[in-house]
């Protein structure tokens, strides 16, 4: 069997092009949390002021039969599923982010818990990968959705904030 390769040539003209090229598309600018001004509130402070935030946190208190070990401590859905060991104390990171006893941020834990309550993740799905959100998965989701449409965790806690946020994102289009 013979293979025939045909050679093609491309002709390039040195004559100037009379049609102007459109300008290259520009990427939307995204203001990162580190670039926020000092007058803006940090998302953790906004969440802390919401009663709904504390209601959801109260749902995450570990109430297993052996309450002497974990009673009164907080654990997110992901850490319950992977059976992560509890820490003795809640911690605060260098940047002021409050962590639960499982080591995940309060912001991530509340967002994940609300996704679970809405039936988007958790044991209601038959897909193992959709049972929980790790800290890294949540961080990526939060960062990408924040950059695209301005999402933050308050949207999950308050239907009015969700509607206003989505309307603002639509108005920017």
Q: What is the DSSP string of 93-126?
A: -TT--BB-TTS-BHHHHHHHHHHHHTTSSSTTSS
- Tens digits of residue pLDDT in 81-134: 888 888 888 888 898 888 998 999 999 999 999 999 988 888 777 787 888 888
Average confidence score pLDDT of the chain? 77
Query: pTM (2 decimals)?
Result: 0.69
Judge contact between 53 and 110, C-beta under 8 A: yes
Q: Which residues of 90-117 are buried (b: 16+ CB within 10 A; e: fewer)?
A: eeeeeeeeebbbbbbbbbbbbbbbbbbe
Give the distance, in angstroms, between the CA of residue 5 and the centroid of all CA atoms in the same chain. Answer: 52
- Tens digits of residue pLDDT in 2-60: 444 444 444 444 555 554 544 544 434 444 444 444 446 788 889 999 999 999 998 88
**Would you state the pLDDT for residue 160?**
94
**Would you state the pLDDT for residue 24?**
46
């Amino acid at each position: 069997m013979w293979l025939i390769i045909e050679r093609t040539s491309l002709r390039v003209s040195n004559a100037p092009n009379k049609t102007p090229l459109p300008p290259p598309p520009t990427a939307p600018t995204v203001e990162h949390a580190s670039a926020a001004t000092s007058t803006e509130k940090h998302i953790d402070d906004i969440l802390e002021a919401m009663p709904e935030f504390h209601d959801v946190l109260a749902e995450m208190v570990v109430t297993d039969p052996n309450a002497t070990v974990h009673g009164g401590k907080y654990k997110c859905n992901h850490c319950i599923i992977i059976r992560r060991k509890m820490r003795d104390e809640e911690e605060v990171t260098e940047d002021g982010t409050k962590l639960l006893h499982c080591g995940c941020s309060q912001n991530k834990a509340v967002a994940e818990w609300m996704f679970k309550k809405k039936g988007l993740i958790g044991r209601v799905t038959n897909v193992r990968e959709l049972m929980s959100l790790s800290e890294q998965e949540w961080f990526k989701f939060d960062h990408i959705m924040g950059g695209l449409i301005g999402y933050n965790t308050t949207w999950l806690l308050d239907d009015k904030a969700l509607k206003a946020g989505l309307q603002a994102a639509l108005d920017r289009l």
